[in-house]
Amino acid sequence: MTDAVPYSKSELMIAASARLLGGVSNCFVGVGLPNIVCNLAQRTVAPELQLVYESGVFGARPERLPLSIGDPTLATGSTAVTSMFELFAFYLQAGLIDVAFLGGAQIDRHGNLNTTVIGDYEHPKVRLPGSGGACEIAIHARRILVIMRQARRSFVERLDFQTSPGHSGDPVHDATRGWHGSGPTNVVTDLATYGFDGGTGEMLLRTMHPGVTVDDVRGNMGWEPRIADDLDETPAPTDEELRLIREELDPGGVYTK
């Protein structure tokens, strides 16, 4: 028996997400956890990964942990810095982006996302940031990965506002939309990881993190989850993944504590 290195929930989410990027070439990166996920994947399962930022950077090689998607460390040493028009038109809309990360205040069972308002649009209870690039990213990136904390108020039966489209719930419709994007393929939360059912486009519980029960998962979402036949435990981060996260990617523990 080996002594397992203790790890935080964020570290588990980062490692589980990075493994989803195996073989990926062009990845649209967000700030925070996705940024560490992509940098970890580049050092493990996806050495060819190009980090693309909506701020107009293709092929970033950040020398420090960027605190925003417009950090100056992203421009210095990158492959290309483009105008935002080019980034959205020639890279994203034209279909060059393989994977993008999105999150939101609310997600539904089909992976539709709300980043606009909680409550009524005209009289919001909480005014959220809005789309940013999320609406077009959801449509054009070939796969969407979602990283979110899981709770009843964020995993909801019905969105207050649909900012970015996921699956429609009608597979025939989804197959004929003609978008580059195939929608969300994976969701990683602090409790579990999910795929999406190929037929219904509905979120499917695939793995639960060590110590988490199905009741924990059920208690933190607003609908009755579909459960994969081969439901398994989320593999713990390896020693090497933890070393990279702690020593190279987030030595200050800004996002991983």
Binding site for another protein (CB under 8 A): 31-32, 54-57, 67-72, 74-77, 81-85, 88-89, 92-93, 116, 121, 124-127, 129-136, 139-140, 161-165, 168, 177-179
Distance CA 126, CA 124 (A): 5
User: Which residue, 16 or 74, has its beta carbon nearer to another protein?
Assistant: 74
Quick check: 146 and 190 in contact, CB under 8 A? Answer: no
Distance CA 254, CA 165 (A): 31
Min. distance of Cβ 224 from another protein in angstroms? Answer: 24
User: Which residue, 1 or 85, has its beta carbon nearer to another protein?
Assistant: 85
Distance CA 230, CA 177 (A): 31
Quick check: 167 and 111 in contact, CB under 8 A? Answer: yes
User: Which residue, 116 or 207, has its beta carbon nearer to another protein?
Assistant: 116
Residue with tokens 């929608």: 183
The pair phi, psi for residue 136, each rounded to 5°, is -75, -30
Q: How far is CA 166 from CA 47, 113, 181, in A?
A: 28, 7, 9
User: Which residue, 97 or 192, has its beta carbon nearer to another protein?
Assistant: 97
Min. distance of Cβ 73 from another protein in angstroms? Answer: 9
User: Which residue, 4 or 84, has its beta carbon nearer to another protein?
Assistant: 84
User: One of 11, 48, 54, 248 is an active-site residue; which one?
Assistant: 54
Quick check: 198 and 226 in contact, CB under 8 A? Answer: no
Min. distance of Cβ 52 from another protein in angstroms? Answer: 13
DSSP string, 39-82: HHHHHTT-TTPEEEETTTEES---SS--SSTT-HHHHTT-SEE-
54 carries an active-site annotation: yes
Distance CA 81, CA 140 (A): 20
User: Which residue, 57 or 205, has its beta carbon nearer to another protein?
Assistant: 57
Min. distance of Cβ 222 from another protein in angstroms? Answer: 19
Q: How far is CA 237 from CA 3, 4, 256, in A?
A: 13, 10, 13
Min. distance of Cβ 143 from another protein in angstroms? Answer: 17
Query: Which of 189, 178, 211 is CA-nearest to residue 95?
Result: 178
Min. distance of Cβ 122 from another protein in angstroms? Answer: 8
Report the catalytic residues: 54
